Chain A
Amino acid sequence: MATSDNELNLSNWTTQLRKGLLELCIVNLLAEGELYGYDLVKRVTAIRGVVVTEGTIYPLLSRLRKSGLLETRIEESPSGPVRKYYRLSPAGERAREMMNRCWKDIEAGVNGLIERGPAGETLDT
């Protein structure tokens, strides 16, 4: 039972970690140019390590749009229903830069911690 609990906790941890990174992934994907919803979701789920169900992303996009980081526009599609295109707003662009800096700081700090190992032990040795 203890093992199961540990596994469950690990699962929750990874889920939470991935959720936290989703927004970062989205703003960086959109930094490359505007994308319509379906394409954006498929690209997010294709990112290695970001295991997420596709439906999860839409509420997130909705929240980002409401907070002013994303802008949308509707365009008719020749092959199906209308498409909603997402792009970064100026505020979103600034937020992306801040989020990236933050992520790099965390990444550097956490990597340093991991590489140093327990009680001064280094991974190399």
Chain B
Amino acid sequence: MKHWTPEAEERLAAYLDEVLAVAQTQDDGAEDFLEDLRAHIRSDAEESAGGVVTPQNLERALAAAGTPYDVVGVDTPVAATAPSNGNGAHGTNPVDAKAPPIAMNAPLTIIFGVLLPLVAVGTEFSLMNGTWGGGVGVMPTFLHVILLLGVPAWFLYLLIKSSTPAAEQELSTRRAVAFGLGYLFGMSFFYSILLLPLMPISLIAIIWFGIGLIGLSPAITLVLACHATLRLEAGGQYDGVHSRTYFRWVWAGGFFVMVLLGGYVGLQFSRDHHLEQLLRGEPAEQAESMAALRWLGMPDMSRYYGRSDGIADIWMGGSFLRATRAPDLQEAYFRVYGEVPTQEDLTSWFYLDNHFGSQLRLRWEQGGDRVGSMIPNLSLIQSAMNVDFSGEDMAAQGLSYTEWILEFDNNNPIANEARCLIALPPGGVASRLTLWINGEEREAAFGGRSQVKAAYKEVAIVQRRDPALLTSAGRDQVFLQCFPVPAFGQMKVKIGITAPLHGQGDRAYYRLPFIASENFTLSDRLPHGINITSPGAVILTNASLNTPGNESGTVNQLGTIRQRELFGNGAGALLSLPRVFDTAPHQGALGRYVATMQRDGIQSLAEKREVCLVVDGSAGVGKARIDWHALLQAIPDGVELHAVFAGGEGAVWDGAGGRDGLAAWLGAQRYEFGQPVLGGVVMALGEVTDGKEREVIVIHGPQPMKDGNVDRLTQALESGKRNGQSVRIHLVAAAPGVVQFMENLDAYTEVVPVLVTDSVEATVARIVQTGAATEGTPRFTFAETESDSAAGKHGTNSHLVRLAALDQVMGLLQSHSPLEANAASTIARRCRLVTPVSGAIVLETKAQYERHGLDDEADLNAVPAVPEPEEWLLIIVALAAVCFVVYRTRIAPRRERMALP
């Protein structure tokens, strides 16, 4: 066997194609002898060749074999007997070697084959807000856009090649031309079918309004492609081989398109179906669909994200696409992949600067209680944090007060709402909200949760004025809403947070607040300023702080902190400073309230206790690579240990093998995907039933989803209380990130999120040994005095009172009594706290505060009493009416009289 050049191989293939084509015209099956003929020609060519068979060697063999017409035994068409064109091909050449392979009408091709599809793609893209999918989406993905753009590209290619004589074209070019025709045929056919329902409307629109050509674009390109294909048929021969032999390349082009589209549609259809089942199906269906999605992958969620009900997607006929809220998608994503989705995962990676559809589409989320979809061109342009550990005697008490200034910029022609979920430092409470209105700082009023929400909805969403709202979103989380960030304008807010420090040896720890999720974009280059005032030098990893400067016994550090410490998954910078606070009692006063705080000393708990470990089976815990042996060896022998694995169906450790056995058991579990963890906690409560002192330690990863087991857990907790069994559930995060399941556990103080100051292993060991992850847990007393101003007599530390008030509020809420809830709400409002029963709102005018019953809470002296624009308008209209009446009754008649002859 000798080596053949690719050109020779192609020439032989083309010759045999021609033989086949001619034989088929004679109803003569050529399949029987084609291989024999091929072998013969190969042998013949190789016999005359040296080491390599070239087209020249082959041509001699082909000449001996005869023309395809000779082989089949039919008369040679006149066209095939023209002289050689001299390019080394076989002697049966086209009659007109200068004829193009296909004749294309240039103006028609450019208008309908190139420009019209481009306009259609552009229009579609614009309607879809610059994202793939949604709206009237016929191109749900990037793949579709590329395929669609292939239509004008191929038409352009055909047009260029149609100006080159066939005889001058390479074999590969001719095949490409045929392939392109097939591609065009396939694409236009597919989209014609897809847009078939729109075609009558398009036709009517053209007849009546002269527009609507875009809807007919696929049909028009189909006609063009058919015409060109027929011309290929009629185009005779290419260099001795009838053009029909290239039809297999036409088929290949069409097949290529159909395989891609068909495969993708099938995949997409299946993914959509399973996501729908996962979101809304029965438990069995959900399990089945989750397994399927783990294998197939999630659909492009930008097609769901932020879409409203009633907008069907032509692509899927609207069959599976239903309005789906962002948190539900986030949960689905987490359950399937075990990872927390980013905004980029949820929305498309590609956003055009589009000012039309996106804003309309995302409007439905305004004023809601979720962060929702990311709004293009709404961004954070300033972030600065002031952290104070020294003021108001806070150093001795181990308290902190942080103010975070956030400024949003809306580079859109319409107003938008900025929303974000802020994770507070553990045990912290939001105690201040300030909004800049016309350059002036305006403090928030604190009211009942539903009261402030109603005020916000009316003022922000209906009247479209300038409020900001801060409400609780679960333990240690608040939800910030600012609306409207004006078109091409900015909005600036400040949030104040009071939080305790957590002790560990000679250091005190504080986790900075961070934004868990947001609907605005962040620039990677945005500097996040931080200013820390503390009793000693602060250590903050991943931050650039200047050299500490001493100012009256305090240290002031200024610098910048990296964005990933303040935003997104895994955020949560840990600050450590010298521990100054001790276990001495402290007092504080705020308004009529007085409080004391005393921190626990190091406790030594009874060893005869029951402890149950609940280990989250999510992928996040697996990635934390916990040393189970080290963790379990630190647990005293007297502790009766249980363990539950919260993954899959859930599993309970049978006690085999002692500590080592448990370590091996935990190490052997599969930590994958996203697993709900509260079911495991309920199982754990069932395990620790003997003793009165029960500890459940939950080691979990990020949990950005609500947990359907929360009701079962609250029932179990209530039942335990009734039976006099106390329990503490410590939540130990093995990795930083968003935890959503706490949202409905606000009122259960027995559930304690733990600050992990070092390793998970050491943290768990401390919890088991001392009952707490850190030292010096604050204990409060809280009381109301007769006087409106208790300050002075009881100290001035308002932050201490705020934390005591939060403790009091949470304690009152545990009773689930409406009366106690009212009392809790009153305390929260008076102490200016954002709690499950209270919120903070900044309104623009005094009238707005008064209308919503917030007048006694806001500093109304700082609020302008000027009439609102509506009132101005009424006054102007009234004055104009009076002027008009005066004119008609006095001035006009006088003029008329004067004008009389």
Binds A, one of B30-38, B478-486, B673-681, B832-840: B30-38
Interface-central residue, B28, B36, B65, by most chain A CB under 10 Å? B36
Which of A54-62, A102-110, A116-124 participates in binding chain B? Answer: A54-62
B71→A56 contact, CB < 8 A:
yes
Q: Report B7-50 CB contacts with A as 1/0, cut-off 8 Å.
A: 00000000000010001000010101100110111111010000
On whether the beta carbons of B70 and A55 are closer than 8 Å, the reply is yes
A81: CB under 8 A from chain B?
yes
The answer to whether the Cβ of B66 comes within 8 Å of any Cβ in the partner chain is yes
Contacts of B36 in A (CB 8 A): 37, 58, 61-62, 84
Residue ranges of B at the interface with A (Cβ–Cβ < 8 Å): 1, 19, 23, 28, 30, 32-33, 36-37, 39-44, 46, 64-67, 70-73
How far, in Å, is A11 (CB) from chain B's closest CB? 12
Contact with B1, one of A41, A54, A66, A81 (Cβ below 8 angstroms): A81
A37 vs B65: C-alpha distance in the bound complex, in angstroms?
Answer: 13
Taking the complex as formed, is A38 at the interface, i.e. its CB lies under 8 A from any CB of chain B? yes
Can you give 21 A-B contacts (C-beta < 8 A)? A37-B39, A38-B40, A38-B44, A41-B40, A53-B64, A53-B67, A54-B40, A54-B66, A55-B64, A55-B65, A55-B66, A55-B70, A56-B66, A58-B36, A58-B40, A59-B72, A61-B36, A62-B33, A80-B1, A81-B1, A84-B39
If A62-B32, A81-B1 touch, whether A53 touches B43 (CB-CB below 8 Å) is: no
Cβ contacts under 8 Å, B30 to chain A: 59
Contact assessment for B71 and A59 in the assembled complex, using a CB-CB cutoff below 8 Å: yes
Q: Which residues of A contact B44 (CB under 8 A)?
A: 38, 54
B53 to chain A, nearest CB (A): 12
Q: Please give, as numbers and ranges, the residues of chain A lying within 8 Å of B33 by CB-CB distance.
A: 58-59, 61-62
Select B70's contact among A53, A80, A81, A82, beta carbons within 8 Å: A53
A-B contacts besides A55-B64, A80-B43, 15 pairs, CB < 8 Å: A19-B73, A38-B44, A53-B65, A53-B66, A54-B44, A55-B40, A55-B41, A56-B70, A56-B71, A58-B33, A59-B71, A62-B32, A65-B32, A80-B46, A81-B43
The distance from the CB of A76 to the nearest CB of chain B, in whole angstroms, is 13
CA distance A65 to B36 in the complex (A): 13
Query: How many Å lie between the Cα of A9 and that of B779 in the bound state?
Result: 121
CB-based nearest B residue for A66: B32
Give A38 to B65 CA distance when docked, in angstroms.
11
Which residues from 48 to 82 on chain A have a C-beta closer than 8 Å to any C-beta of chain B? 53-56, 58-59, 61-62, 65-66, 80-82
Q: How far is the CB of B238 from chain A (nearest CB, A)?
A: 20
Residues of chain B within 8 A of A65, CB atoms compared: 32
B37 near A55: Cβ-Cβ < 8 Å: yes
Point out the residues of chain B lying under 8 angstroms from A59, CB to CB.
23, 28, 30, 33, 71-73
Flag if B40 contacts A56 (CB, 8 Å). Answer: no
| Contact call A53/B1, Cβ cutoff below 8 A | no
- Which residues does chain B contribute within 8 Å of A56, judged by CB atoms? 66, 70-71, 73
Residues from chain B with a CB closer than 8 A to the CB of A66 are 32
Cα-based distance from A43 to B65 in the complex (angstroms): 14
Which residue in chain A gives the minimum CB-CB distance to B35? A84
> What residue in chain A is nearest B72 (Cβ atoms)?
A59
Nearest chain A CB to B856 CB, angstrom units: 100
In chain A, what residue has the closest Cβ to B75?
A12
Whether A81 and B28, one on each chain, are in contact in the complex, defined by CB atoms closer than 8 angstroms, is: no
- Chain A residues lying within 8 Å of B73, measured Cβ to Cβ, are 19, 56, 59
A18-48 CB contact bits vs B (8 Å, 1 = yes)? Answer: 0100000000000000000110010000000
Q: Across the interface, which residues of A come within 8 angstroms of B40, CB to CB?
A: 37-38, 41, 54-55, 58
Contacts of A37 in B (CB 8 A): 36, 39-40
| Minimum C-beta distance from B735 to chain A (A) | 63
The residue on B at minimum CB distance from A37 is: B36
User: Which of the listed residues A54, A56, A61 has the most CB atoms from chain B within 10 Å of its own CB?
Assistant: A54
Neighbouring B residues of A62 by C-beta, 8 Å: 32-33, 36
What residues on B are CB-neighbors of A82 within 8 Å? 39
When chains A and B are docked, how far (Å) is the Cα of A66 from the Cα of B33? 11
Interface centre among B30, B33, B70 (most CB of A within 10 A): B33
Distance between Cα atoms of A56 and B37 in the complex (Å): 9
Does A38 lie within 8 Å of B39, measured CB to CB? yes
Q: Nearest chain-A residue to B63 (Cβ)? A: A53
Q: List the B residue with the shortest CB-CB distance to A52.
A: B66
User: Once the chains are docked, how many angstroms separate the CA of A66 from the CA of B29?
Assistant: 11
Write the nearest CB–CB distance from A32 to chain B, whole angstroms.
20
Contact A81 B42 (CB under 8 A): yes
Tell me which residues across on chain A come within 8 A of B37, comparing CB atoms: 55, 58
**Could you say which residues of chain B place their CB within 8 Å of the CB of A55?**
19, 37, 40-41, 64-66, 70-71
State A55–B65 Cα separation when bound (angstroms).
Answer: 4
Out of A19, A53, A61, A81, which one reaches B39, CB within 8 Å? A81
Q: A91 to nearest B CB, angstroms? A: 18
Contacts of A84 in B (CB 8 A): 36, 39
Inter-chain CA distance A59–B26, complex, in Å, is 12
* CB neighbours of B64 from chain A (8 A): 53-55
Nearest-Cβ distance from residue A124 to partner chain B, whole angstroms = 40
A37 to B34, CA, bound (A): 12
Bound: A19/B73 CA distance, A: 9
Compute how far the CA of A66 lies from the CA of B32 in the bound complex, rounded to whole angstroms.
Answer: 9
A8 to B106, CA, bound (A): 44
Q: CA A58 – CA B33 in complex, angstroms? A: 6
| Residues on B with beta carbons closer than 8 Å to the beta carbon of A58 | 33, 36-37, 40, 71
Task: Kindly list chain A residues whose C-beta atoms are within 8 Å of the C-beta of B19.
Answer: 55
- Nearest-neighbour CB distance to chain A for B157, whole angstroms, equals 35
Q: How far is the CB of A30 from chain B (nearest CB, A)?
A: 15
Query: Considering only CB atoms, which chain B residue lies closest to A58 in the complex?
Result: B33
A61 to B71, CA, bound (A): 12
Inside 8 A of A41's CB, which chain B residues have their CB? 40
Chain A residues within an 8 Å CB radius of B43: 38, 80-81
Q: Tell me the smallest distance from the CB of B69 to a CB of chain A, in Å.
A: 10
A58 CA / B579 CA spacing, docked (Å): 99
- Bound complex: CA of A114 vs CA of B36, how far in Å? 40
